[in-house]
Amino acid sequence: MPDSSAIYPGSFDPVTNGHVDIIERGLRVFDRIVVAVLKNPKKATLFTTKERVRMIQDLFASKKEVEVRAFDGLLVDFAKAQGTNVVIRGLRAISDFEYEFQMALMNRSLAPDIETFFMMPSVNYSFLSSNLVREVAALGGSVEGLVPGPVARRLRQKLGGSKKSPKSIKAG
C-alpha cells in the first residue's frame, strides 16, 4: 500500500502546542505530513517565513515523517505539487468553524479531488491561538505551556520582554 500523506497549512507565527497536538494526531492517521508555512506578503508576521519554518523543523527533527515547507499561491496547487490530496485543519472551540467551512468548500470547488480533514486538539489547547501567544509575549507574560520551550525562548529573544504592541511589529 502506498504511503498516505497530508498537508497541514497555516501561518505558524509562531507554532504553538495546539499546532504540535494536531501534527501528532495527524501522524496517527497519515504516514507523512507536510507542514506548509504560508508566506503571506499581505499579513505582517512577527517571525520571518524562514524562522517559522525552522522552528517547526527543529521541533520535529527526529521525525522524518514530518516535512516542513514554505508556500505561497493556491493551497490546492501546492498540495498537488507535494503529491497529496488531503488537507488537515485544526478546529478550535466555535471560532474556527465558519471560516474553515468556507475554505474547505472553496478548496473543493477549486480542486474536487482534494479532501479537507478536520481534527480537534486536546481540550487544553482549544482556545489557543498564535495571535494570543504573540500578544501575551509582547506584554511580557509567560507563554509556558502554550508553546514548546524553544519557541518561548525565540519569543523572548524577539520581543525582549518589551511592551511593544504586536500590531506595531513589521514583517521580516
Ligand X SMILES: Nc1ncnc2c1ncn2[C@@H]1O[C@H](COP(=O)(O)OP(=O)(O)OP(=O)(O)O)[C@@H](O)[C@H]1O
Active site residues: 19, 43, 92, 130
3-class DSSP state for residue 27? helix
Q: Which C-beta is closer to ligand X: that of 121 or that of 148?
A: 121
Cβ atoms of residues 9 and 38 within 8 Å = yes
Residue 2 CB, nearest distance to ligand X (Å)? 25
Residue 58 CB, nearest distance to ligand X (Å)? 17
Backbone angles phi, psi at 157, to 5 degrees: -60, -45
Between CA 117 and CA 27 the distance in angstroms is 13
Total number of residues shown for the chain? 172
Residue 106 CB, nearest distance to ligand X (Å)? 14
- Mode of pairing for the β-strands spanning 32-38 and 66-71: parallel
Q: Which C-beta is closer to ligand X: that of 13 or that of 71?
A: 13
Residue 22 CB, nearest distance to ligand X (Å)? 5
Q: Which C-beta is closer to ligand X: that of 12 or that of 30?
A: 12
Residues that bind ligand X (CB under 6 A): 10-13, 16, 18-19, 22, 89-90, 92, 96, 121, 125, 128-131
3-class DSSP state for residue 20? helix
Q: Which C-beta is closer to ligand X: that of 49 or that of 130?
A: 130
Residue 115, H or E segment: strand 115-119
Q: In what order do the strands lie in the sheet with 32-38?
A: 66-71, 32-38, 5-10, 86-90, 115-119
Cβ atoms of residues 114 and 142 within 8 Å = no
